[in-house]
Amino acid sequence: MSYHNNPRIATDGLIFLLDPASPKCFGSGETTATDLVGGKTCSGANGSPGSGTPTPDTARMPAYNSTNGGSFYFAANDGINVEGDLGSHSAVSYSLWFKALDGAGNRYFFDARNDGGTWFIRNYTGSNTNITWADNLRYNFDATFNASTSAFLNTWMYMVATSNSSGTLLYLNGTEITQSTEFRNVYVENTSIDEDLGANLRIGCRYTTSGFWYGYMAHIGIYNKTLSAGEVSQNYDSMKSRFGL
């Protein structure tokens, strides 16, 4: 299956994409979404299936929302399970548009621990960090941890996080945060993480079906490579008007 709704995004290495802007992916009243790259079914998260066959919970599937061309609305009790195996990798990039609606702790972007991977979270109370990928990539918007910082709430944001053997990088709205002099005072860590994704990757919740996202997500992409700064900028520029930026 190919994706044609926005041909200007970087597609080299793209292995997974959910975007409700495409009716081929998700629509009003539907209880499953379809990966626009590999055709994987994405269903409401339920339990902790490990690497086995999941039992979907339709009540957990986030709702379709027509805002900004189409998005997933997570009502703080929803999560997506990617049915099928996204593989083991030596490099990976998460690419995500999101809008958070509260400052609560431990709300998940992604979690690959059903099949040997690792977690990626917002407002992690374990290390008092706004954005952290298994605590190997850590970033705060302010000089000290502020879970309700205005930079992080009620606004659409484009985030890319990359990892390979050289370490991790974080981009927000097309700008690389981790090596930017402007943001160096609030940046914390950038060592390499476990890039494996495996089966039953969770989006918007913990692998045990908890830690639910509250807010919106759209154009959720995963690459089996580290996106370059140019590719991140290309993705941001091609979609920013859709999200009012």
Q: What is the pLDDT of residue 138?
A: 87
Per DSSP, 240 falls in state: G
For the stretch 216-229, pLDDT in tens is: 999 999 999 999 99
For the stretch 127-186, pLDDT in tens is: 999 999 999 888 888 878 899 988 889 999 999 999 999 889 999 999 998 766 555 455
Compute the distance between CA of residue 66 and CA of residue 194 in angstroms, rounded to an integer.
Answer: 35
Compute the distance between CA of residue 217 and CA of residue 21 in angstroms, rounded to an integer.
Answer: 11
**Confidence band for 2, pLDDT divided at 50, 70 and 90:** very low
For the stretch 53-96, pLDDT in tens is: 999 999 999 999 999 999 999 999 999 999 999 999 999 999 99
For the stretch 108-128, pLDDT in tens is: 999 999 999 999 999 999 999
Closest alpha carbon to 212 in 70, 65, 61:
61
Compute the distance between CA of residue 97 and CA of residue 172 in angstroms, rounded to an integer.
Answer: 10
* Strand boundaries in the chain, DSSP class E: 14-18, 32-34, 41-44, 63-65, 71-75, 80-82, 92-100, 107-111, 119-124, 129-133, 137-139, 157-164, 167-172, 175-176, 187-190, 202-203, 214-223
Q: What is the mean pLDDT of the chain?
A: 92
